[in-house]
Amino acid sequence: MARGAVETLRDILDAAARGVFPPADGRTTIVPQACRRDAGVLSFTAHSVVFTDEDPEWVRAALRATGCDALAATLNARFLTAFMDRTGRRSDTVDAMVVGSPLTGRRPWN
């Protein structure tokens, strides 16, 4: 993606599926939700993505308010609670999402 271009969640996930990940720079990227249903946080190696239609300035302020290392802030319980309160959501657990391209050839377990 060109510098200054707005990334979408789909851009980030499609790139990750190709093995191209956000830079391990300790930063957080904030992108719009892809749909009304889905808002959340993805954590890559030394980079986080918050996908929400909330004001990015609110997200940055809430991350700073955790009082922890910026790299850990997006998965900090204080941020996640504030995020859920702000967006009217709930969570029972932190989960993993794995994306990748389909493998070619015969399945190894056949």
Pairing of strands 27-31, 40-44: unpaired
**Rounded to whole angstroms, what are the CA distances from 72 to 15, 20, 28, 96?**
23, 22, 10, 16
CA 24 to chain centre: 13
Q: Are 1 and 11 in contact (CB under 8 A)?
A: yes
- Residues of the chain with pLDDT > 70: what percent? 92
Average pLDDT over residues 60-71: 95
Domain boundaries along the sequence of the chain: 9-87
Distance between CA atoms of residues 49 and 68, nearest Å: 17
Model confidence pTM above 0.75: yes
Q: What is the pLDDT of residue 49?
A: 97
